[in-house]
Amino acid sequence: MQIAESSSLPADSLHYAKPNKQFWTLQTGAWLGYCVVVFLAIIHPQFEQENFNFSGQLLNLGIETLSGFVLSCLQWFMLRKIVHLPLRLTLFFSFALAAILGCIFNVIKLASYKSIIHNQVWYQELDMLEFGGWLLFSVATMYVFTAIFFIMLYNNRLQTEHEMLLRAQTSAKEAQLEMLRYQLNPHFMFNTLNALSTLIYKQENDKANEMLDKLCSFFRYSLISMNDQESNLKEELELLELYLSIEKVRFESRLNVAFQIDDDARDAKVPSLFLQPIVENAIKFGVEGRKSPGNIVISVQKEKELLVIEVIDDGPENKLDISKGFGIGLKNTQERLNTMFNTKCHVSVNEEANTGTKVRISLPFVKSDAND
């Protein structure tokens, strides 16, 4: 059974949809089982008796089963109306309803049995002990169906609440990823526009114009997937190369970049624009402050179930500045990876005076669903 969703209703007001195939299958199967049990336990042992009315017994069993089927359907529809009440009231009304329907079921059974099998009116020669014995079984039958229906209704409620929780968690995750991504935009824009301002101030208009064209291409490319929080490594590297082409306008021969990419890793799922702030930091603190050319190596390898990414730069010439940088970009990357993969990803920085700075990122290798 499914719960009908309505945005105009409060979350605790549950309106259940019409019974689906699951309910009717259970209902039909249960009463067919009831019919078989009664036949085997009560009717079959009477086959050897004299004057055994086989057709009458079958007719009586059919009426008994059909009446129980109709009453349990009524019970189901009533339970659906009261299941949203507080649990104490729901239990009280449910078991009171089961007792009433059990009494009605018992009267129908007795009336059918007396009239069909013994050709009597059901209340004639009525033995209260006999009536009580039949009543106990009839009420117990309705109580059993009440318990089954409760399990169905509350299981459905549990599933619905679980689906709502998953939707809420997914929305929260998407909102967090969106916030983290937008956090990078002003950071990147500030650095790029500051570089443009410097070129214009130096009257290097050709370089400024070239950088502006590449910057427009970069944002045009990134806007295509602005609503996608995830990408694949191939697209991420293409966007990174476009970003590096902007920086090469600024630094020319002072910036040397080498890619070492494992082909098996190109279809890995990664957050969109997650490498750009790491490389931006490498340029700012490993190239910008140097008079001599600076080298950046971007390495991506697949190691068993992990994707390992390393961004290595020469570091600043002034070794006193080695601890600067890697603030918002590194923290942002760590949070985005943890949120996307729902696990602790490893982001580490190794700063050495002789070898420069190495950022190592280790995350689960998951193939992306994005089109290449």
Return the CATH number at 304.
Answer: 3.30.565.10
Q: What is the pTM of this model?
A: 0.50
Is 198 within the bounds of a domain?
A: no
Q: 103 with 246, same domain?
A: no
- Do 268 and 225 touch, CB atoms closer than 8 A? no
CA distances (Å), origin 158, targets 14, 84, 86, 163:
12, 13, 16, 9
Is 370 within the bounds of a domain?
A: no
CA-based end-to-end distance of the chain: 41
- Do 362 and 369 touch, CB atoms closer than 8 A? no
Q: Which of 132-141, 293-302, 327-336, 342-351 has the lowest mean pLDDT?
A: 327-336
- The residue segments making up the domain with residue 275 are 204-364
Is 211 within the bounds of a domain?
A: yes
**287 — pLDDT class (breaks 50, 70, 90):** confident
Position 115 scores a pLDDT of 82
State which of 224-233, 261-270, 272-281 shows the largest mean pLDDT: 261-270
Q: 360 with 263, same domain?
A: yes
Is 7 within the bounds of a domain?
A: no
CA 222 to chain centre: 27
Instruction: Pick the last residue of a domain from 115, 146, 167.
Output: 167
Taking alpha carbons only, the member of 218, 173, 170 closest to residue 193 is 218
Q: What are phi and psi of 232, to 5 degrees?
A: -110, 165
Q: 216 with 97, same domain?
A: no
Q: 54 with 152, same domain?
A: yes
The CA distance from 128 to 132, in Å, is 6
Position 12 scores a pLDDT of 39
The CA distance from 245 to 54, in Å, is 93
Q: 260 with 311, same domain?
A: yes
CA distances (Å), origin 27, targets 21, 95, 143:
10, 19, 14
Q: 161 with 23, same domain?
A: yes
Taking alpha carbons only, the member of 15, 152, 157, 4 closest to residue 72 is 152
Question: Can you say whether the dihedral through the CA atoms of 167, 170, 176, 177 is positive or negative?
Answer: negative
Reply yes or no on whether the pLDDT at 15 is more than 50: no
Residue 297: left if φ>0, alpha if ψ -120 to 50, beta else—which one? beta
Q: 111 with 241, same domain?
A: no
**174 — pLDDT class (breaks 50, 70, 90):** low
Output the six-digit token pair for 31.
């009463």
When pLDDT is averaged across residues 237-257 and rounded to a whole number, the result is 85
Position 360 scores a pLDDT of 92
How many CB atoms sit inside 10 A of residue 332's CB? Answer: 20
- Do 290 and 282 touch, CB atoms closer than 8 A? no
When pLDDT is averaged across residues 152-159 and rounded to a whole number, the result is 76
Q: What are phi and psi of 355, to 5 degrees?
A: -105, -5
Q: 219 with 324, same domain?
A: yes
- Do 361 and 309 touch, CB atoms closer than 8 A? yes
The CA distance from 280 to 156, in Å, is 51
Is 184 within the bounds of a domain?
A: no
The CA distance from 256 to 239, in Å, is 17
Is 11 within the bounds of a domain?
A: no
Instruction: Pick the last residue of a domain from 142, 167, 192.
Output: 167
When pLDDT is averaged across residues 157-170 and rounded to a whole number, the result is 71
Q: Where are the alpha helices (DSSP H) in the chain?
A: 21-38, 54-82, 87-117, 128-201, 205-224, 233-251, 276-286, 328-341
Q: For the chain, how many structural domains are there in total?
A: 2
Instruction: Pick the last residue of a domain from 119, 139, 167.
Output: 167
Reply yes or no on whether the pLDDT at 306 is more than 80: yes
Instruction: Select the more confidently predicted residue: 369 or 101.
Output: 101
Is 57 within the bounds of a domain?
A: yes
Q: What is the DSSP letter of 294?
A: E
Q: 360 with 212, same domain?
A: yes
Is 301 within the bounds of a domain?
A: yes
Position 13 scores a pLDDT of 37
